[in-house]
Amino acid sequence: MGHIEINLFTTLDLVAQAPGGPEEDSEGGFAFGGWQAPMMDPVVGEMIQRGIAGTDALLLGRKTYDIFAGYWPQQADDFAGGIAGVFNRIPKYVASHGTPNLEWAGSSLIGPDIAASVREIRDRHEKSVQVIGSLDFVQTLLAERLFDRLNLVVYPITLGSGKKVFGSGTIPSNLKLAEPAVSTSNGAVLLHYELADGIPATGDMS
């Protein structure tokens, strides 16, 4: 059985909407699309490449899939440190309630029972199934505890508005730090958490 990894770029106030560009997701009148671009760092790039190298499949929401499908198939296999070659070769699973265009080779639609489909995908693969971006879809995975690892790149800015990593459907969960945190020259922090057993305990300070 494989494992599901969620990968998100987020601000210090946990806004993860549209880090890559102004046209990525403007829902709710979000005015800061592309907020990550001025702060990209080689350390973050190396982390992304390492994670992608061991990937068996991509699991994406509709918006992220459309962005990826419009870009990666046009790139040479060695582009971006070999990421293009991996993305173009491995299976791509798309979570959508609509009927997306799935012309990117290796793409298939999952559902309508999203949770059951994700469990079957995890059982099918031996290594990591990567969820990149796909913030709306991530809320379903968090609510169902359908992930094994949560990788966050937290940047030292606040936006005050926008979709957040943990939305209203998030359920109480314990997580544990999977490896030591790493900071970059821009002040970003790379955090890798694994899902742990149980729910948060309560108590008092006496």
- CATH at 23: 3.40.430.10
Helix (H, G, I), strand (E, B) or coil at 164: strand
Residue with the two structure tokens 């210090």: 12
Is the bond leading into 112 cis (omega within 30 degrees of zero)? yes
Q: Is residue 201 part of a domain?
A: no
Q: Is residue 197 part of a domain?
A: no
Q: Is residue 191 part of a domain?
A: no
Angle at which helices 135-143 and 62-69 cross, to 10°: 140
The two counts, helices (H) then strands (E), for the chain are: 5, 9
Structural domain containing residue 116: 3-185
Q: Is residue 138 part of a domain?
A: yes
Nearest Cα to Cα of residue 52 among 68, 63, 38? 68
Least confident of 37-51, 81-95, 135-149, 151-165: 37-51
Q: Is residue 15 part of a domain?
A: yes
Q: Which two tokens stand for residue 89?
A: 């070769």
How many domains does the chain divide into? 1
Res. 176: pLDDT tops 90: yes
Residue with the two structure tokens 């990209």: 40
pLDDT band for position 50 (cuts 50, 70, 90): confident
pLDDT in tens, 121-160: 999 999 999 999 999 999 999 999 999 999 999 999 999 9
Q: Is residue 202 part of a domain?
A: no
Q: Is residue 43 part of a domain?
A: yes
Q: Is residue 167 part of a domain?
A: yes
Nearest Cα to Cα of residue 100 among 129, 131, 69? 69
Q: Are 173 and 199 in contact (CB under 8 A)?
A: yes
**What's the Rg (C-alpha) of the chain?**
17
